[in-house]
Amino acid sequence: MLCFRILFMEQVLFKHNRPGRMTTFDEYRSEGGFVALARALAGMSPDEVQQAVIDSGMRGRGGAGFPTGKKWSFVPRNLPGPRYLICNCDEMEPGTYKDRVLLERNPHLLVEGMALACYALGVQHAFIFIRRGYEQAADNLRLAVAAAHGAGFLGENVRGSGFSLELDIHQSAGRYICGEETALINALEGIRANPRAKPPFPAVKGLWGQPTVVNNVETLANIPSIINGGPAWWKGLAATPEAAGTKLFCISGHVVRPECFELPLGMKLGEIIDGPCGGMRPGSTFKACIPGGASTPYLTKLHWDVPMDFDPVAKAGSRLGTGGIIVFDQSTCMVAATLNLIRFFARESCGWCTPCREGLPFVRHILERIEAGQGQAGDIDILREHVRLLNHAFCALAPGAMGPVDGLLNHFEDELQEHITAQRCPFEGTHS
């Protein structure tokens, strides 16, 4: 039953993929690539493209899940001067690699999606902000941009429509905070990438003070299918009536096939792990997972039947985030896992605001001493207090960083307590 469903699940993002290599521009074209753009330019107004995205129910795939069409609608109309679209490919959230796979396999989808978004938004100059380490993805993207230029889908007066667009690629040098949209704008401008105060929101005052939309790679890569198949059809690709579209889930950890899959949004956690992932690897039983990248609280076996969609995962006390599912088996010490996550966030804090700069190292210190067998009676209360305190930070980094700590307190308090009582880590030497 399960195999049957997966076999016949409709894909839109991985539909044109070839095994082990990038799909060529000609292959993409021959399978319907750039038809959506040509159709939109010939027969749809920018507002109609935007309306289709609103009607599709698309929610941003970068982590926050904000409705994409709504984000676009915040851009003021008839404001003089340029406006910009930035594609956020600063995929630095640990456990997340979907955008890399997408760009390594089919970068044309992003180019077409960005062209459609720019047409809808009245943008003539767009940027793709790509993280360090994604050299192959950046190379493929350069090929795709050049091919689209060559075929007249980018540049001056695309297909005689009067619409013009230039796409620039910016390769970053590695820093997690650059994925936060206002920090990303600073990074792109060549300014130290601390986040900016909001409001004004980027839609009003973004790149070089102009209206700017920042969207994730996967979000933009979906636009061609929304235009091609229509919003209702696209929405219906999901597994539940509440969800919309497909989602790239990238899995890592103790499963048989830790890979990136395009699956219907709203598929149950257990179905994803037992189905496409091939179940837990031999000798492993499921203990917990992070559902959507490092900043999302743990889910446990209790959540096996939670539909992996924005609202149901939020209701379960976590976040869908990026769809980067990290699976832990019974040998994993959740205190040690949380310590690893907090070390990452403390290191990646940009240092701009005090709660984040000072608070995260303090939380790291507390977890370090618990894991080292030196935990003290009040430590659990201190951790709980800091989940609350670090919500009052300048940007989302610190609250996100405390997500796993929150999950640890909610689901594994007994494990924490055991560390403190026994004055040692009960998992010492068991983890791979």
Partner 1 sequence: MIPEPLKNELQRRVAQAVTNREAAVDVMKELQRHYGWLTDEAVEEAAELLSLTPLQVEELATFYEMIYRRPVGRYVVHVCDSISCWNMGGETLLTQLEKLLGTKVGGTTADGDFTLLPCSCLGNCGNAPAVMVGERQFGRVLPDQIQFILSELRSSNP
Q: Which residue has the tokens 């303090």?
A: 362
Residue span binding partner 1 (CB under 8 A) among the ranges 26-34, 38-46, 134-142, 220-228: 134-142
Q: Which stretch binds partner 1 (CB under 8 A): 43-51, 152-160, 246-254, 354-362?
A: 246-254
Smallest distance from partner 1 to CB 91, Å: 5
Q: Is 335 in the site for partner 1 (CB under 8 A)?
A: no
127: Cβ contacts below 8 Å, ≥ 6 apart:
84, 85, 86, 87, 167, 168, 169, 170, 188, 207
340: contact with partner 1 by CB under 8 A: yes
Contact 214, 181 (CB under 8 A): yes
Contact 323, 61 (CB under 8 A): yes
Percent helix, percent strand, percent coil in the chain, to nearest 5: 45, 15, 40
Size of the site for partner 1 (CB under 8 A): 53
- Give all strands (DSSP E) within 281-372, no chain letters: 286-290, 299-300, 324-329
Binder among 23, 216, 252, 296 for partner 1 (CB under 8 A): 252
Place of tokens 């399978």: 31
Binding residue (CB under 8 A) for partner 1 from 28, 153, 286, 328: 328
Q: By C-alpha distance, which of 98, 328, 324 is closest to 216?
A: 98
Name the phi and psi angles at 400, rounded to 5: -65, -45
Distance, C-alpha 392 to centroid of its chain: 23
CB of residue 287 to partner 1, shortest distance in Å: 11
Q: Binders of partner 1 among 183-212, rule CB under 8 A?
A: 187-193, 208
d(CA 232, CA 230): 6
Q: Which is nearer to partner 1, 266 or 324 (CB)?
A: 324
**Closest separation between CB of residue 331 and partner 1, Å?**
10
> Does 324 engage in binding with partner 1 (CB under 8 A)?
yes
- Partner residues linked to 290 by β-bridges: 326
How many Å apart are CA 404 and CA 413, to the nearest integer? 12
Direct distance between the N- and C-terminal alpha carbons of the chain, in angstroms, rounded to an integer: 34
Q: Rounded to the nearest whole angstrom, what is the least distance from the CB of residue 251 to partner 1 in the complex?
A: 7
Compose the 82-101 pattern: x for residues touching partner 1 by CB under 8 A, - for all others. ---------xxxxxxx--x-
Q: Contacts with partner 1 in 165-184 (CB under 8 A)? A: 170-176
Q: Is 260 in the site for partner 1 (CB under 8 A)?
A: yes
* Closer CB to partner 1, 91 or 406, in the complex: 91
Interface ranges with partner 1 (CB under 8 A): 91-97, 100, 125, 131-136, 170-176, 187-193, 208, 250-254, 258-260, 290, 294, 324, 326, 328, 332, 337, 340-341, 343-344, 347-348, 350, 432
